[in-house]
Amino acid sequence: MTIPTGPQVGVTLYSFTNEWLTRQYDLPGLMHEVSARGLGPNIEIIGFQSFKEFPDVSDDFAARFKDLIAETGLNPVSCAINSDRFLRPGQQPIDDASLVEYHKRQLRSAKKMGFSLVRYQFALPVELLPQIAPYAEELDIRMGVEVHAPMWAGHPAVQAYGEMYDKLNTPYLGWIPDFGGTASRIPESMLDAARAAGAPEGLLDKLKEVWLEPGMSHEKAGRLREWALANGHAPAHIQAASLAFFILANNDPASWAALVDRTIHIHGKFYGVGEDLVEEAIDYAAILPLFRDGGFTGTIVSEWEGHAYLGTDGFEQVARHQAMCRKILAG
């Protein structure tokens, strides 16, 4: 076995959400396709996207999954779990004990299927971490909280988690950066999709302007909405334009440097990589060297999210994204 000397590339099956939802592939079919196209071996799977039995996977299913892993030669690195706290819309969140147990159920399932780490979410109140971390240690599975837009290294929630990480001081807890929090611009493919939905250029110009302003994403979305309604734009066009606020934020790419030490896995979020191997919104050339030079040896899973506004397939995009990452990492 080779000892990794730098970041590895891989893929999350989330990139193939369109193919999955349209039932073009079942799970064995999709895993074989990923393997045949050479997009692995390291993969991430969202438990609640790909496993019907989640959050409580049976021994029988886990055994079949392990057989599938052996057949395809893939390596189950990360299982994304969810911090589903608001099970009754408009009512109080579930109690803390139930939320802790909900995480333990998912940790057990991920471990049983052979994953080496889980992605978890900031919806888990930080003060519950001392109840869950020892269980992860006992199971021997690492947990990485996903730093996803609108969050970034300087966000108060990230800082509160960092303080708890210092206190608990265990290698089983870490970060999973998602680069959508440090986009440099709104992807042109997303703007094109809004144009195709009928959004006029004036609305998109205002979107680009507001998106770059300081402030929280939901405030900026509110600001655009207010302006757009006052200027006679249709609600459907405003909705198409506002997607950018919810999945992308424009924090400084260099800010990731503060999280490199405890990064255990990376979501290589992207929207469109051209034939020139440049991603249209996220400046990978500025970001990846921070992790490579900081000693990160985990996996960057290619995470194509164009399916939020395009019906096309993700395979070609993932292949290009991986080629781009390899090129930058070798540079």
Partner 1 sequence: MLPVERVIGEEGLSAAPQGLRLAMRLPWYRSLPFSTVAVASLAIDGEPVDLTDAVIEYDGSAWPLAANGEQVDSFWFVRDSAYLVLPGRSLPVGSAHEVALNVTVSPPYIPGMTRANPQTEMLTAR
**Long-range contacts formed by 132-139: CB under 8 A, 24+ apart:** 132/100, 132/103, 132/104, 132/107, 133/168, 133/170, 133/172, 133/173, 135/104, 135/107, 136/107, 136/172, 136/173, 137/170, 137/172, 139/107, 139/108, 139/111
Residues 42-71 that bind partner 1 (CB under 8 A): 46, 48-49, 52, 54-55
- Work out the angle at residue 215's Cα, subtended by the Cα atoms of residues 288 and 85, and round it to the nearest 5 degrees: 80
Interface residue with partner 1 among 142, 220, 307, 320 (CB under 8 A) is 307
Query: Strand 117-120 to strand 266-270: parallel, antiparallel, or no bridges (unpaired)?
Result: unpaired
* Binding track over 12-31 against partner 1, x by CB under 8 A: --x--xx-xxxx--------
Q: Which of 32, 103, 148, 218 is catalytic?
A: 148
Size of the site for partner 1 (CB under 8 A): 31
Q: Is 211 in the site for partner 1 (CB under 8 A)?
A: no
Q: Does 189 bind partner 1 (CB under 8 A)?
A: no
Q: Which stretch binds partner 1 (CB under 8 A): 11-19, 173-181, 261-269, 278-286?
A: 11-19
- 309 contacts partner 1 (rule: CB under 8 A): yes
Question: Is residue 106 close enough to count as binding partner 1 by CB under 8 A?
Answer: no
Starting at the earlier edge strand, list the strands of the sheet with 75-80: 173-177, 142-147, 117-120, 75-80, 42-46, 8-12, 299-304, 266-270
Q: Which residue number, 209 or 316, has a Cβ lying nearer to partner 1?
A: 316
Choosing from 88, 169, 171, 214, the residue that interacts with partner 1 (CB under 8 A) is 88
Applying CB under 8 A, among 213, 308, 316, 323 the residue interacting with partner 1 is 308
- Does position 170 bind partner 1 by CB under 8 A? no
- Distance of alpha carbon 116 from alpha carbon 283, whole angstroms: 29
Name, in order, each residue with C-beta under 8 angstroms of 133's C-beta and a sequence gap of 6 or more.
143, 168, 170, 172, 173
- Residue 148 designated active-site: yes
Q: At what angle do helices 156-168 and 129-139 cross, to 10 degrees?
A: 60
Closer to partner 1 by Cβ: residue 81 or 287: 81
- Pure H helices in 115-273: 129-139, 156-168, 188-196, 201-212, 217-230, 235-247
> Does 86 contact partner 1 by CB under 8 A?
yes
| 121 contributes a contact to partner 1 by CB under 8 A | yes
Of 94, 139, 278, 285, which lies in the binding site for partner 1, with binding defined by CB under 8 A? 94
As annotated, the active-site residues are: 148
Positions touching partner 1 (CB under 8 A) are 14, 17-18, 20-23, 46, 48-49, 52, 54-55, 82-90, 93-94, 121, 123, 307-311
